[in-house]
């Protein structure tokens, strides 16, 4: 019996997570997989009611689960950053989920490419550092001094930010940080991943030509680790990578990318796979609790209308099954999803005419076949 934490969240989060749970229930009826679910009311509604983001008791309970299944957070009534940093980024950092695995595949023919390519890009987005480290401040007016402590599973970094300017000037800072320890474990994971998946090289995406202090160090460490393992490294600047994803997506296998660029490139990737409703992800801590979620957000523009594509949430459930050691069940689910795409049993964003729950009905029917 697997013990899952369910965090439906905001907007379309609860709509797509409900579909994922239906599918997991269907799988548990026809296989050896079984689970118990504990729901957590983490999200904007509770925050707006009483200002609570995540309590210590919740962190404690979440840390004891076999996995977390997460929908999305984000609410137009809440200032940007509060829920995103206070809930999602807080969990990724607290549970030290340092790899964000985001498969990008040619799932669906509705791709915005001139030519159809079969591609399967394995994005490994570093998930705890870079411009997501949470070190920033505002200088307004005159002078500021701010001490902050950054805690990760690997280290504690005390940082102080001191700045002085003319009183009429105003500045905002967001500091990017990479650590040797953080890059080493990222590189090791990426290289092992490439080898395990039969890829003969790792592509590292960065902007070492503009931010050499961070990304130059990252290149050096990746190259050291790659030389140790006898695997080839390929270096791509992120601007060129965005272009290359459109003209030669099939030439990439394992792609390691720092946090911020990884966020951006994987939305592009999801769209290459048919739409934002297609992208799934796993926030992985190989030694702790991992969290599976669609890469899309709460999509307030379509929430409550039964239009949300559940594919990403269902693929996230598939990744969770794989992670929990149910490879056969994961494969079954992936095949059912593939049939739903082949038969155009999809939501309007993919050109289909089904509602969210009808896509799941179809997938469950396939599973029972």
Binding partner of residue 312 among ligand NAD, Mn ion, ligand IPM, none, CB under 5 to 8 Å per kind?
A: ligand NAD
Give the Cβ contact number of residue 43 at 10 Å.
25
One character per residue 261-280, x = contact with ligand IPM (rule: CB under 6 A): --x-----------------
Which CB sits closer to ligand IPM, 19 or 263? 263
Q: Which residues contact 65 (CB under 8 A, 6 or more apart)?
A: 3, 4, 5, 38, 289
**Spatial separation of the C-alpha atoms in residues 67 and 3, rounded to whole Å:** 7
Q: Which does 89 bind (CB under 5 to 8 A by kind): Mn ion, ligand IPM, ligand NAD, none?
A: ligand IPM
Using CA atoms, how far apart are residues 29 and 31, in angstroms rounded to an integer? 6
Q: Is 333 helix (H, G, I), strand (E, B) or coil?
A: helix
Instruction: Tell me: does residue 45 bind ligand NAD (CB under 6 A).
Output: no
Task: Report if residue 17 touches ligand NAD, rule: CB under 6 A.
Answer: no
Enumerate the β-bridge partners of residue 123: 102, 255
- The single residue among 293, 341, 363, 367 that binds ligand NAD, judged by CB under 6 A, is 293
- Gap between the Cα atoms of 232 and 201, Å rounded: 4
24 binds ligand IPM (CB under 6 A): no
CB atoms within 10 A of CB 272: 25
For ligand IPM (CB under 6 A), the number of binding residues is: 6
- The whole-angstrom distance between residue 163's C-alpha and the CA centroid of its chain comes to 34
276 is a site residue for ligand NAD (CB under 6 A): yes
Closest by CA position to 157, among listed 176, 139, 138, 172: 176
Q: In terms of Cα–Cα distance, which of 350, 325, 356, 310 is closest to 20?
A: 310
Kindly state whether residue 126 participates in binding Mn ion, applying the rule CB under 5 A: no
Residue 137 pairs in a beta bridge with: 173
Q: How far is the CB of 359 from Mn ion (least distance, A)?
A: 22
Question: Which tokens is 235 given?
Answer: 């270096």
Provide φ and ψ at 138, rounded to 5°.
-125, 135
Q: Closest by alpha carbon to 318, among 273, 363, 357, 352?
A: 363
Q: Does 245 bind ligand NAD (CB under 6 A)?
A: no
Footprint (CB under 5 A) of Mn ion, residues 249-278 = 263
Q: Are 245 and 300 in contact (CB under 8 A)?
A: no
Q: Which of 346, 355, 331 lies closest to 275 in space, CA to CA?
A: 346
Selected from 89, 101, 191, 205, the binder of ligand IPM by CB under 6 A is: 89
Print the binding letters for residues 295-324 with ligand NAD: x by CB under 6 A, - otherwise: -xxxxxxx-----xx--x------------
Q: Which of 88, 276, 354, 367 binds ligand IPM (CB under 6 A)?
A: 88
The residue among 178 and 191 lying less far from ligand IPM, judged by its C-beta, is 178
Over the window 83 to 122, marking each residue x when it contacts ligand NAD by CB under 6 A and - when it does not, the resulting string is: -x---x----------------------------------
Report how far apart, in Å, the C-alpha atoms of 229 and of each of 224, 225, 299 are: 9, 6, 42
295 touches ligand IPM by CB under 6 A: yes
Give yes or no for residue 349 binding ligand NAD (CB under 6 A).
yes
Minimum distance of ligand NAD from residue 5's CB (angstroms): 15
Q: Is 316 in the site for ligand IPM (CB under 6 A)?
A: no
Binding site for ligand NAD (CB under 6 A): 12, 16, 72-74, 84, 88, 276-277, 293, 296-302, 308-309, 312, 349
What is the contact surface with ligand IPM in residues (CB under 6 A)? 84, 88-89, 263, 295, 297
């Amino acid at each position: 019996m697997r013990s899952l934490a369910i965090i439906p969240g905001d907007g379309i989060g609860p709509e797509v997570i409900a579909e994922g749970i239906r599918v997991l229930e269907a799988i548990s009826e026809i296989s050896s997989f079984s689970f118990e679910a504990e729901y957590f009311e983490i999200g904007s509604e509770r925050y707006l009611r009483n200002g609570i983001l995540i309590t210590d008791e919740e962190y404690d309970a979440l840390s004891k689960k076999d996995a977390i299944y997460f929908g999305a957070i984000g609410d137009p009534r809440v200032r940007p950053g509060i829920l995103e940093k206070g809930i999602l980024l807080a969990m990724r950092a607290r549970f030290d989920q340092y790899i964000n695995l985001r498969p990008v595949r040619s799932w669906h023919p509705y791709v915005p490419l001139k030519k159809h390519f079969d591609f399967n890009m394995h994005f490994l987005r570093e998930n705890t550092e870079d411009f997501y480290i949470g070190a920033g401040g505002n200088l307004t007016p005159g002078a500021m001094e701010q001490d902050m402590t950054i805690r990760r599973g690997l280290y504690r970094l005390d940082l102080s930010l001191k700045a002085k300017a003319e009183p009429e000037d105003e500045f905002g800072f967001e500091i990017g940080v990479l650590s040797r320890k953080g890059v080493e474990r990222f590189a090791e994971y990426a290289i092992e991943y490439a080898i395990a998946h039969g890829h003969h090289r790792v592509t590292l995406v960065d902007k070492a030509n503009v931010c050499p202090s961070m990304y130059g160090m990252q290149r050096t460490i990746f190259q050291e680790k790659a030389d140790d393992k006898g695997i080839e490294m390929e270096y791509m600047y992120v601007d060129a990578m965005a272009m290359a994803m459109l003209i030669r997506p099939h030439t990439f296998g394992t792609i390691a990318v720092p946090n911020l660029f990884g966020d951006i490139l994987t939305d592009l990737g999801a769209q290459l796979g048919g739409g934002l409703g297609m992208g799934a992800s796993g926030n992985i801590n190989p030694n702790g609790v991992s969290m599976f979620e669609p890469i899309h957000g709460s999509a307030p523009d379509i929430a409550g209308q039964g239009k949300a594509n559940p594919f990403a949430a269902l693929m996230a459930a598939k990744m969770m099954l794989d992670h929990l050691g149910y490879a056969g069940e994961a494969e079954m689910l992936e095949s059912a999803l593939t049939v739903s795409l082949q038969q155009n049993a999809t939501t309007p964003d993919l050109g289909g005419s089904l509602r969210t729950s009808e896509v799941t009905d179809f997938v469950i029917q396939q599973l029972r076949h």
